[in-house]
């Protein structure tokens, strides 16, 4: 039987326990620290609202990190869309990257994703938790139920493998076993 009050309360407790790490994650992503609490509050509100609507959140912590990341992306999109023009010096400054720079970045992202897909799924997830979500080795180890040293070694090997593939320019299937 679905009991929204109990699950919302439980989710709220989990998120409150995660608040210091989530705020740290947000502060690492944005330079405006005064806005980090606002992002946290908005992410919390969206997560709880989603739960109240009856959606089952299997991993509410991951969900709130995704929501926070989306809010941060929206924040930067608004910031980047503002163009600056300096008429006195006859210079035009535009915050948006040039089309060739966009194409280059898209290629790098595609290449990185190809390299990441060459890793075993569990190893790729460890790397994403560390480099994208900013979790510590201890937090990751706790979440996956492994020893921190083991997690650290796997992440380091995975990072070396991805960097080697990027340097070669062609993603290759890794022959290394990660376990």
Reduced to 3 DSSP states, what percent helix, strand and coil does the chain have, rounded to the nearest 5? Answer: 70, 5, 25
The whole domain housing 143 covers 97-168
Distance CA 55, CA 7 (A): 10
pLDDT digits (tens, 9 = 90+) for 27-79: 888 877 778 888 888 988 888 888 888 777 788 888 888 988 888 888 777 76
Instruction: Indicate if 10 and 75 belong to the same structural domain.
Output: yes
Q: Is residue 12 in a domain?
A: yes
Per-residue burial over 30-56, b = 16 or more CB atoms within 10 Å of its CB, e = otherwise: beeeeebeebbeebbebbbebbeeeee
176 in a domain, yes or no? no
Q: Which of 80, 112, 127 is the last residue of a domain?
A: 80
92, part of any domain: no
CATH number at residue 38: 1.10.1740
Alpha carbons 172 and 117: distance in angstroms, whole number = 10
Rg (CA), the chain: 20
What pTM does this model have?
Answer: 0.43
Assigned domain for 90 exists: no
* Tens-place pLDDT, residues 145-159: 999 999 999 999 988
Residue of 120, 126, 118 lying closest to 165 (CA atoms): 118
User: What's the confidence (pLDDT) of residue 1?
Assistant: 38
Q: Is residue 87 part of a domain?
A: no
CATH of the domain at 156: 1.10.10.10
Q: What DSSP designation does 98 have?
A: P
């Amino acid at each position: 039987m679905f009991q929204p009050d109990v699950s919302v309360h439980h989710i709220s407790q989990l998120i409150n326990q995660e608040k210091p790490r989530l705020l740290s994650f947000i502060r690492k992503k944005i330079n405006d620290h005064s806005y980090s609490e606002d992002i946290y509050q908005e992410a919390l509100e969206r997560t709880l609202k989603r739960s109240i609507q009856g959606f089952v959140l299997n991993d509410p912590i991951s969900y709130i990190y995704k929501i926070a990341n989306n809010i941060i992306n929206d924040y930067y999109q608004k910031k980047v869309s503002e163009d600056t023009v300096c008429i006195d010096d006859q210079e035009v400054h535009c915050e948006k990257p040039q089309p060739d720079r966009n194409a280059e970045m898209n290629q790098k992202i595609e290449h990185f994703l190809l390299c990441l897909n060459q890793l075993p799924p569990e190893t790729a997830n460890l790397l994403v938790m560390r480099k994208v979500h900013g979790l510590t080795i201890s937090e990751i180890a706790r979440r996956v139920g492994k020893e921190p040293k083991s997690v650290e070694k796997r992440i380091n090997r995975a990072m070396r493998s991805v960097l080697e593939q990027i340097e070669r320019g062609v993603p290759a299937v890794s022959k290394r076993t990660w376990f």
